[in-house]
Structure 1
Amino acid sequence: MSRTAQDLIAGTAGGIAQVLVGQPFDIVKVRMQTAPKGTYRGMLDCAGGIFKNEGPLAFYKGTLTPLLGIGVCVSIQFGAMEYSKRLFAKRNLESGIGGPRGILLTGPQLLASGAFAGLANGIVSGPVEHIRIRLQTQSATNPEYKGPWDAIKKIHAKRGIAGIYKGQVATLWREGSGYAVYFWAYEKLMQREMATKQIARDQVHPAKTVLFGAAAGYALWAVIYPIDMIKSRMQTDGFSPADGQKYTSMLDCVRKVWRTEGPGAFVRGLGPTVIRSPFANGATFLGFEMANRLLHKLVHEESVTPF
């Protein structure tokens, strides 16, 4: 099994863990982001309304799409990240920097690798999140879509591939900037842990992996939350003026939200994200690292580091 194949499989494991842990928090975040101002008094009011009116399973509404799609997305993220890291490590080795195998990447190298991973991921995450958000925000009593495949077919039939990729510009801005910081934070913490304790990557305790993943998650959302809110608004907006379209572009959305709802709208729904982030991102990196270690052992590799 090639190293890239192992990274992709391990990334899928991380993605599945992320969805199962984070989905209930995510639906609350999306409802708060996209609802008119004043709809909910806060996170608990939103969550309580969902539970009362739609039942406990509503917290996993639209989960099939992210379970399949986010698994692929996180697989792409880690596959692209590890591939980029290997390229930089090879360059470092040729230049005589970055340690014995050139694997101690610099901050700019990690930021570039993370941005590359985010943009690669955005090609898939854009439509996956669009469909998920449509399902999460549709009426419980009179839903327009029966499920993810029904949503994809109906949107494609009316709007083509452009309809599926609605909000893609905002998605790419979010993914590129967010994952640059996300992977930089995680890798820097891992580098520090290995240097301080003089251990290999596979010897880092799983609890530390969860902790570093949680910290990386907070760094991610500190950078991207306002962009994520704009993306959610655009992905729940009408497809045309006849459908009640409010925003013609990402910049138009920013201007209108700022003018009509004020700066507070850009952080609405932040509460469930702050609570969700350490669990979901800790689970993501734990799933990736543990799966990677297991795969490396199964193929009898001498080293279980991702290089």
Structure 2
Amino acid sequence: MVSEHKIAPLPFVANFTAGAIAGISEILTFYPLGLQVKTRMQLETGKSTTGLVGAFKTIIKEEGFGRLYRGLVPPLLLEAPKRATKFASNDFWGKTYLKMTGDDKMTQQLSILTGCSAGATESFVVVPFELVKIRLQDKLSTYAGPMDVVKKVIQKEGVLGLYSGMEATFWRHFWWNGGYFGCIFQVRGLLPKAESAKARLMNDLIAGTVGGFVVKSRIQGATKVPGVVPKYNWTYPALITIFREEGPAALYKGFVPKVLRLAPGGGVLLLVVEVTLNMFRQVLGPPYL
């Protein structure tokens, strides 16, 4: 009986680098749609919203085309460590859980658990950068730039002020990554077995696309006043407040641009990651091939 060739897992640095390259690729492609317009729509209060096309037109007409890329530096600097952390920690937790359970292959349950763990890890890297991004993207923003946001937040709220919205971000990344990686595992299993490198990449694009909250933006966009409890302070109470005051539709502000970014964005992420990892395998050679 001929033994099946077992491909060795790539080192941590390979997964980290692949995630970083994928993150930068995604942010440069989808920034105006997924971040600028979505965030602006989410920061609107009240029951009315301009909608996706209206948000684009308003920003360009009133503030110029360049405004669509306002606040690009923080997420651009963020995407490398953020996505690197996502895929590297997903790989780390996957190996850890397989070792703990004694399983040889990833299962649906383990892929979800691994994704949730990766999301929780990723959230600690994300929060300060996203707080800076959201403060800059607010229409009423008077900050001179990213470092001005950091400086003033620390002056008024201390270093921990940079972690405003941590709880909401934690839960978002926890659940989203569990669903993302769990869905990728499921879709990959349903797709026809790829017989070529091109077919495998297409499968990755499809799986990532299929795999691909207002609350976090409200919490991070609010300016804290000493001695006053913020209106949007904790995730689930904030959900109830927004629902009660603005109706259920307010919870889905920015939903369209978010989905339009997450679907192809998730596909691009996974595609670039797999292309980069394949390059590492080719360079490193056996036993990684």
Give the alignment's TM-score, normalised by structure 1: 0.84
Question: In the alignment, what sits opposite 1:280?
Answer: 265
Mapped to 2, the partners of 1:138 and 1:242 lie a distance apart of 26
Match of 1:240 among 225, 243, 251: 225
Cα displacement (A) at 1:134? 0.8
Amino acid in structure 2 at the alignment position of 1:122: S
Cα displacement (A) at 1:267? 0.8
Cα displacement (A) at 1:163? 0.9
- CA, structure 1 residues 252+198, in 2 after alignment: closer, same or farther (shift >3 Å)? closer
Any stretches of 5+ residues in structure 2 without a counterpart? 1-8
* Corresponding position: 1:21 with 2:29: yes
* Corresponding position: 1:197 with 2:193: yes
Larger CA deviation: 158-167 vs 292-301: 292-301
Cα displacement (A) at 1:2? 6.4
- CA, structure 1 residues 107+35, in 2 after alignment: closer, same or farther (shift >3 Å)? same
Question: In the alignment, what sits opposite 1:144?
Answer: 142
Cα displacement (A) at 1:243? 8.1
Question: In the alignment, what sits opposite 1:213?
Answer: 208
Any stretches of 5+ residues in structure 1 without a counterpart? 218-227
Mapped to 2, the partners of 1:44 and 1:244 lie a distance apart of 35
Identity percentage over the alignment? 26
CA contact (8 A) 2:40 2:138 kept: yes
CA contact (8 A) 2:108 2:185 kept: no
Mapped to 2, the partners of 1:163 and 1:15 lie a distance apart of 26
Match of 2:161 among 163, 166, 179: 163
Mapped to 2, the partners of 1:90 and 1:40 lie a distance apart of 49
Amino acid in structure 1 at the alignment position of 2:24: I
Question: In the alignment, what sits opposite 1:183?
Answer: 181
CA RMSD in angstroms comes to: 2.3
Amino acid in structure 2 at the alignment position of 1:294: M
Deviations 1:201-221 (A, max 9, x none): x6753222222111001xxxx
Deviations 1:238-279 (A, max 9, x none): 212678942343333222211110111111221111222222
CA contact (8 A) 2:194 2:200 kept: no
Give the alignment's TM-score, normalised by structure 2: 0.89
SS in 2 for 1:146: coil
Equivalent residue runs for 1:226-265 within 5 Å:
228-240=213-225, 245-265=230-250
How many residues are aligned here?
Answer: 280
Larger CA deviation: 119-128 vs 40-49: 40-49
Match of 2:278 among 267, 277, 293: 293
CA contact (8 A) 1:126 1:171 kept: yes
Cα displacement (A) at 1:57? 1.9
Cα displacement (A) at 1:40? 3.5
* Corresponding position: 1:78 with 2:87: yes
* Corresponding position: 1:41 with 2:50: yes
Mapped to 1, the partners of 2:117 and 2:153 lie a distance apart of 29
Cα displacement (A) at 1:149? 1.7
Question: In the alignment, what sits opposite 2:11?
Answer: 3
- CA, structure 1 residues 162+138, in 2 after alignment: closer, same or farther (shift >3 Å)? farther
Amino acid in structure 2 at the alignment position of 1:126: V
Equivalent residue runs for 1:68-147 within 5 Å:
68-91=77-100, 94=102, 97=103, 102-103=104-105, 105-139=106-140, 143-147=141-145
CA contact (8 A) 1:11 1:76 kept: yes
- CA, structure 1 residues 241+46, in 2 after alignment: closer, same or farther (shift >3 Å)? farther
CA contact (8 A) 2:10 2:281 kept: no
SS in 1 for 2:158: helix
- CA, structure 1 residues 287+20, in 2 after alignment: closer, same or farther (shift >3 Å)? same
